[in-house]
Amino acid sequence: MAKTEDVAFAIISAAGDGRAKVAEALKQARRGNFGEAEECLKDADEHLLKAHKLQTEELLQKEASGELQGPFNVLISHAQDYVMTGMAMKDMAVEIVNLYTQLRAK
């Protein structure tokens, strides 16, 4: 990827797609559609992994090697925040889906 801003937007997009899948998983679990919820969580994993990989390969490794030049960019901060919160949301959603599953089993 060429520009830091392009990388940031790609990370935000992938992480946002992951977060949307997490929200859909919770909605499906609330409705008792646990198979769909699990599929959404798998999809969320793929999107969040893509975002994390972009973050690592296009930002962190290049920063460490000195390739990434220029002043701090607030879009990078936003992108990293999106990845972090998306991963945290996904971890919590797994637990919530498990709780919904247990409650339905009773």
pLDDT band at 98 (very low <50, low <70, confident <90, very high): very high
Out of 17-21, 77-81, 84-88, least confident range: 77-81
Residue 86: domain span: 1-105
CA-atom Rg of the chain in angstroms: 16
Please choose, from the candidates 40, 15, 12, 10, the residue with its C-alpha nearest in 3D space to the C-alpha of residue 100.
40
- 36, 43, 78, 84: which is the annotated catalytic residue? 78
pLDDT on residue 2: 59
Threshold 0.75, pTM exceeds? yes
Count CB atoms within 10 A of the CB of residue 27.
13
Residue type, 21: K
Counted domains in the chain: 1
Q: What is the mean pLDDT of the chain?
A: 92
31-42 residue pLDDT tens: 999 999 999 999
- Per the document, the length of the chain is 106
> Catalytic annotation on 78?
yes
Per-residue tokens: 34? 């646990």
pLDDT band at 1 (very low <50, low <70, confident <90, very high): very low
CATH of the domain at 68: 1.20.58.80
Cβ-in-10-Å burial (0-12, 13-18, 19+) of 15 comes to: buried
54-81 residue pLDDT tens: 999 988 888 788 887 776 678 888 999 9
Q: What are the binding residues for Mg(2+)?
A: 81
